[in-house]
Amino acid sequence: MALYLLAGNPEGPTIVDTEYYQIASNKSLVQQHHWTEPPTVVVCNTINIRSNRLNSALKMWQDLGYTFDGVSFAHKQDFYCARGEPLVGQIMIDIPSSDFPFEKHVGNTKTWHRKESGEIIKVKIEIAHGWSGAERILEHELGHALGWNDFSQTGHIMNGVWSLSGHNTKGLDKKNGNNNN
C-alpha cells in the first residue's frame, strides 16, 4: 500500500491513501447532520484566513440556500479560541489541535451533534498551516460543518481528495430541496 496525502499538494504530485479513501468516501452524497438554526462563524486569530477568502467560501454555501448568523474574527484574548472549544451554535475555524491527522489531511472538521435527531450543536474546522488560502479547502470543510459527507465523485466540492475535487455542487442545493434535509 502506498501512503498518500488525502488532500494533495498544490506544489507537487498528489498522494492518496487509497485504502483510507475507499473507507472514508461515499458513493452517494448524504447530509448526515443538520443545523436547526443558522450557525455563527468564528475565525480564531491564530489562523490566517483573509476576510475575502472566508466571504467567498460562505457565499458559495449561501448561494445554495444555507444561512449563517454572522461572522466574527476573534480577538487574541478569546478564551474559547484559546481552548479550541466552540460555543453551542458556532462553527469555529482554527489551526490544528494536537490530534490533527497531519499525515492524511490538510483540513479536518469535528462536529458535535445529537445522535437521536442529527441536529448539529457546534463545529470546529481545523486547517493546516499554509492551506487556509487554498482554493476549495474552506468550502469543503464548511460542507462538513453543514453536515455533508465526503463524496467520491471527481470534480465535486465534497470529494475528500483535494486534487480530485472541484467546483461541482450538484446535490447540495438547499433552496431547491435537492438535499436530504
Q: What is the CATH number of the domain that holds 58?
A: 3.30.379
- 104 within some domain: yes
- 130 within some domain: yes
pLDDT of residue 98: 87
How far is it, in rounded angstroms, from Cα 150 to Cα 165?
Answer: 10
- pTM for this structure? 0.84
- In tens, the pLDDT along 105-121 reads 899 999 999 999 999 99
pLDDT of 172 over the 80 cut:
yes
Picking from 65, 60, 116, 111, the residue whose alpha carbon sits closest to that of residue 88 is: 111
Q: In the predicted model, what is the mean pLDDT of residues 124-145?
A: 94
- Identify the domain containing residue 106 by its residue range: 31-149
Q: How do beta strands 120-127 and 107-113 pair?
A: antiparallel
Number of structural domains (the chain) is 1
- 21 within some domain: no
How far is it, in rounded angstroms, from Cα 143 to Cα 104?
Answer: 19
- 68 within some domain: yes
Q: In the predicted model, what is the mean pLDDT of residues 72-81?
A: 90
- In tens, the pLDDT along 11-53 reads 333 344 444 444 455 678 999 999 999 999 999 999 999 999 9
- 16 within some domain: no
- 49 within some domain: yes
Give me the residues paired with residue 94 across strands: 126
- 17 within some domain: no
- 8 within some domain: no
